[in-house]
Amino acid sequence: MDWKPNRYEEKPLYKQITDYMKTKIERGEWGYDTKIPSQRDLASHFNVNRSTIVSALQDLIAEGYVEGEHGGGTKVTYGKWEKQSPLPNWNAYIEKGSHYPNQPFIQKINQYEFEKDLIRLGTGELSADLLPKKLFQQLMSSADETDFHLGYSEPKGDLQLREAISKRLREKEIYTTPSSILIVSGALQAIQLLSLSLLERSARILVERPSYLYSVNALQSAGIKLIGIERSINKPLSIEKVEKLKNRFDLSLFYVNPTFHNPTGALMGEDERKALVKNSIRMGLPIIEDSAYEDLWIDKKPPLPLKSYDKSGQVLYLGTMSKLVSPGLRIGWVVGQEGVIERLADTKMQTDYGSSTVSQYVAKRWMLSEQYEEHSAYVRKMLKKRRDFMQFLLECYFSHLATWSIPKGGFYIWIVFHFRLNFDKLFKKGVEKGILIAPGHIYDRLDRTSLRLSYSYASLEEMEKGLRILAELIEKEMISKKM
Amino acid sequence: MDWKPNRYEEKPLYKQITDYMKTKIERGEWGYDTKIPSQRDLASHFNVNRSTIVSALQDLIAEGYVEGEHGGGTKVTYGKWEKQSPLPNWNAYIEKGSHYPNQPFIQKINQYEFEKDLIRLGTGELSADLLPKKLFQQLMSSADETDFHLGYSEPKGDLQLREAISKRLREKEIYTTPSSILIVSGALQAIQLLSLSLLERSARILVERPSYLYSVNALQSAGIKLIGIERSINKPLSIEKVEKLKNRFDLSLFYVNPTFHNPTGALMGEDERKALVKNSIRMGLPIIEDSAYEDLWIDKKPPLPLKSYDKSGQVLYLGTMSKLVSPGLRIGWVVGQEGVIERLADTKMQTDYGSSTVSQYVAKRWMLSEQYEEHSAYVRKMLKKRRDFMQFLLECYFSHLATWSIPKGGFYIWIVFHFRLNFDKLFKKGVEKGILIAPGHIYDRLDRTSLRLSYSYASLEEMEKGLRILAELIEKEMISKKM
Ligand SMILES: Cc1ncc(COP(=O)(O)O)c(C=O)c1O
Ligand SMILES: Cc1ncc(COP(=O)(O)O)c(C=O)c1O
């Protein structure tokens, strides 16, 4: 909700709220049978006493706008008694849609991140002060009128941007012409496009477990099953196990996140990479390499990407500007065999007619700018400081409660508790105490003991406070009461 | 392909081409079994004689990179004789993907629009010189660092942009709070989102025939069937017919494009609109109102949108900045019941994590800018000139061949010939003669007699030349040879 009552108005608060809700209902924004938020949520959102909400609802009930339900909720019943046909029941539509809704935890996280002033302990993006806002503003303000174009973009995306990407990729020993590159609106969109373009509805793909892919439903909604292979931060991937699963489940693809894995932080070694590429060719199991965090190394440069060892087009490589530069830009890329890129581009044209040309323009300028290296180095330095500080805090507050490994890059520490956590309770209590957490459950439906912590977003002060609150909460709620 | 041979190099042209193709093949960009373009296409693309291509291919065949096929094509066979497992066969993947590929005509149009220097007689966008490039550059260069943000965006999109949209919508008597608005990456994305979020895989929806929706496969790929209701530019919609179809096919929604319809230019009258909204409520058939061309009136303001007559949330309203301001921006919006908007926003978060914040920033500035009205008036004036000129040309060249109606706004004239057209031949011959056309078939699979002409893109000179060529071609190829 985007409105708040005004304390300085003459009209009493409860009446302002009644009027606001009436308008929403009369205009059909809250349709027939819509469940309205709980009294508690309304009170907290409007920042008023619960009794004010009760008065407002009483008025609405009296005038036939809403009705109380047995279960305790309140539903819109406006129009119930009018002598007309039933109002549109969008709820039935909402339930029928083939795309799965987000997991409840993620829905709540998406909402709270913008609504409430919480310390975000698990967020997957850089803190705003690490993003190159000033540089972007300079790029934008120095834009020459002739530089950018406002029309629809070509199917694979702006050629100059693809050239700039192909140049940057050479630094990683990935050699590719621009025609084998597709610009996408972030790596997530690439995942949706490939799930719609390269896989049939009953396909099964292999993913590491835990995995980022469990946190979105792009593949699952396209009817594709995820088969998990357990992934530990310290042990190399077992090729035999991959092969067994490949044969058992007739797997179509293997989605891997080899460099600073989300959510575990794991880093595949060079030999492991070479073996994986070689064997995936032998087995006939193409690879999707998600390189989202590749440039975010802290201690030293990671091994070359899988794609650099691939001479046959076996690997489809995903990159993004989100993690190092700007998630808001929504610019990523896919590198692969030309026919595959063309298929993905064709689906993209039917999905959104290409990515924003303004974003593509800024991305291109960024790729070619002198500040590129400088900014990267700066972010690495700051991430090191943040990671080391979080490590220090974990040792202070969590060493008796959990174990974890120190990642060599990326954003995340995967912390595994010595006991089960009640995520629902922990999440809710956390919000009450001012912290937002990312339960391990999001990345592995079977997980009951882990959290994804991120040192990329919260400030050092917030980290200290947030982790302290978290440790206290876990000690109090999860141990003493044996939950 | 993004490379051309260089005539000033010492290496002979054919050898340059051989080396280029070898590299593409060795790197796996052209994978095993990939069909390479025809000799004719290669010659035209590289701008060399056909014999040069033949020499290059002979070398590639001799070295085992490609093989000629019986049908006449050439396929990549590199790796065939190596004692290793089969190379990845992405072709099998490409064919299995559940999303339908674009229609061949559209694939070709998408490709030619950026590759070849053709007169575009059917394109659905404003000519580059009508887009407010200078104003955009000013907006961008006056961006204050504190103004825009580079992080992920909130699920429904930037609040200030939603506020600006809600304000603009009041001018059309659509009253809505920002929480009932979702920012999307163009109206096409809204269509994909609703097809994934509100409809089950076997659902059927009603569309006008011809319709823009036949030109994309977002709905069809989600398993949804389109049921067409014939739509003539001069006759009002028959509510009885809608009702019959609703009952017969158990229709879920009705997608309409009431204002300057794509591709016919049809405009629904005020009474027709009121009747449609009223009856759709009675029948329980919610409406998707696509308002893409609403602001592009030429003669006088169109009636109010269907959404303005809707007091119950029956209508889901789609808007876009593409047609009047900039398609490259990729900014559109959906207005509807809050629960529906939230469901769509949730799917969007799983699809691309929201639209570009840079685009949203520019869109917001645009919506609030003083140039908004001025630019709109300018575009209207220019469209009038263009439409009138095209009308004049049609009378000169086509009055004995076809009929058409003059639209009161939008981009298109739907021209219906007195005889069948061989679209394949006409399209191909057209490209040879330097024109690009949009066959009616794209918008109505049964159509064999119509073309969508657009007066928005080609310059007046191009229009004259292009239409003259088109008329000659049709007279020569379609009539004399009775095709
Ligand atoms: C592993 C991984 N891949 C892809 C993405 C998506 O990033 P974007 O769509 O912003 O490029 C993320 C973001 O959280 C990620 O962690
Ligand atoms: C009727 C109609 N709706 C929607 C669109 C999509 O426009 P966009 O996605 O650029 O907003 C178009 C563009 O051709 C159209 O003609």
Take residue B28 and report the two structure tokens written for it. Answer: 């796996």
Q: Is A363 in the pocket of ligand 1 (CB under 6 A)?
A: no
Cis peptide before A210 (omega within 30 of 0): yes
* Model confidence band, residue A483 (pLDDT cutoffs 50, 70, 90): very low
Residue type at position A117: D
Kindly list the distances between the CA atom of residue B345 and the CA atoms of B274, B351, B444, in Å, as whole numbers in the listed order.
29, 10, 31
Average pLDDT for A192-199 = 95
Q: Smallest CA–CA separation between B126 and chain A, in Å? A: 8
Average pLDDT for B66-82 = 78
Q: Report how far Cα A363 is from the mean position of its chain's Cα atoms.
A: 21
Distance of alpha carbon A40 from alpha carbon A54, whole angstroms = 10
Comparing alpha-carbon positions, the chain B residue that sits nearest to A287 is B88
Top-tier CATH class for A13-96 = mainly alpha
Radius of gyration of chain B (CA): 25
Residue B115 has what pLDDT? 77
Count of CB atoms within 10 A of residue B468's CB?
A: 14
Residue B75 has what pLDDT? 87
Is the pLDDT at B412 greater than 90? The verdict is yes
| Average pLDDT across chain A, whole number | 92
Structure confidence by residue, pLDDT tens digits, A462-476: 999 999 999 999 999
Q: Which residue has the higher pLDDT, A342 or B68?
A: A342
Structure confidence by residue, pLDDT tens digits, A13-36: 999 999 999 988 888 888 877 888
The CATH number of B143-370, from 3.40.640.10, 3.40.50.300, 3.40.50.720, 1.10.443.10, is 3.40.640.10
Residue B281 has what pLDDT? 87
Average pLDDT for A119-143 = 91
Average pLDDT for A290-297 = 98
Of the residues A184, A314, A356, A362, the best mutation for testing chain B's interface (the one with the most B CB atoms within 10 Å of its CB) is A356
Is the pLDDT at A269 greater than 50? The verdict is yes
Distance of alpha carbon A111 from alpha carbon A109, whole angstroms = 5
Domain boundaries, chain A: 13-96, 104-124+374-479, 143-370
Distance of alpha carbon B323 from alpha carbon A254, whole angstroms = 41
| Average pLDDT across chain B, whole number | 92
Residue A115 has what pLDDT? 77
Residues of B in contact with A102 (CB under 8 A): 346, 349-350
Residue A395 has what pLDDT? 97
Structure confidence by residue, pLDDT tens digits, B154-167: 999 999 999 999 99
Is the pLDDT at A416 greater than 60? The verdict is yes
Question: Are A185 and A352 spatial neighbours (Cβ–Cβ below 8 Å)?
Answer: yes
Is the pLDDT at A76 greater than 90? The verdict is no
**C-alpha B44 – ligand 1 centre gap (Å):** 40
Residue B453 has what pLDDT? 98
Structure confidence by residue, pLDDT tens digits, B193-202: 999 999 999 9
Q: Is B124 in the pocket of ligand 2 (CB under 6 A)?
A: yes
Residue A81 has what pLDDT? 58
Q: Which of B126, B209, B212, B326 to mutate to test the pocket of ligand 2 (most atoms within 8 A of CB)?
A: B212
Structure confidence by residue, pLDDT tens digits, B471-481: 999 999 877 55
Distance of alpha carbon A195 from alpha carbon A334, whole angstroms = 13
Q: Is A126 in the pocket of ligand 1 (CB under 6 A)?
A: no
Q: Closest to B356 (Cβ–Cβ): which among A201, A282, A328? A: A328
Q: Smallest CA–CA separation between A283 and chain B, in Å? A: 8
Residue A139 has what pLDDT? 86
Take residue A3 and report the two structure tokens written for it. Answer: 């409105």
**Angle CA(B49)–CA(B51)–CA(B52) in degrees, nearest 5?**
70
Q: Which residue has the higher pLDDT, B420 or B64?
A: B420
Residue B481 has what pLDDT? 54
**A452 alpha carbon, closest ligand:** 1
Is the pLDDT at B482 greater than 60? The verdict is no
Residue A82 has what pLDDT? 56
**B322 alpha carbon, closest ligand:** 2
Average pLDDT for B447-455 = 97
Task: Provide the edge-to-edge strand list for the sheet that holds B450-454.
Answer: B402-403, B412-417, B450-454, B438-439
Distance of alpha carbon B219 from alpha carbon B172, whole angstroms = 29
Q: Which of B102, B182, B188 to mutate to test the pocket of ligand 2 (most atoms within 8 A of CB)?
A: B188
**C-alpha A283 – ligand 2 centre gap (Å):** 44
Residues 6+ positions from B477 with CB-CB distance below 8 Å: B422, B425, B426, B429, B483
Structure confidence by residue, pLDDT tens digits, A420-460: 999 999 999 999 999 999 999 999 999 999 999 999 999 99
Is the pLDDT at A214 greater than 60? The verdict is yes
pTM of the model: 0.92
Residue B26 has what pLDDT? 83
**In the block, residue with structure tokens 């699952």:** A220
Q: Report how far Cα A279 is from the mean position of its chain's Cα atoms.
A: 31
Average pLDDT for B318-336 = 97
Q: Homologous superfamily of B104-124+374-479 in CATH?
A: Aspartate Aminotransferase, domain 1 (3.90.1150.10)
Q: Which of A324-338, A357-371, A467-481, B259-273 has the lowest mean pLDDT?
A: A467-481
Could you tell me what percent of chain B has a pLDDT over 90?
73
Structure confidence by residue, pLDDT tens digits, A89-98: 888 888 888 8
Residue A480 has what pLDDT? 57
* Model confidence band, residue B483 (pLDDT cutoffs 50, 70, 90): very low
Q: Which of A325-329, B17-21, B320-324 has the lowest mean pLDDT?
A: B17-21
Q: Which atom of ligand 1 is nearest to the CA of A212?
A: 1
Q: Do B143-370 and B104-124+374-479 fall under one CATH topology?
A: no
Residues of B in contact with A134 (CB under 8 A): 145
Size of interface A-B (CB pairs under 8 A): 396
* Model confidence band, residue B230 (pLDDT cutoffs 50, 70, 90): very high
Structure confidence by residue, pLDDT tens digits, B82-135: 545 566 788 888 888 889 999 989 999 988 888 778 999 999 999 999 999 988
Is the pLDDT at A83 greater than 60? The verdict is no
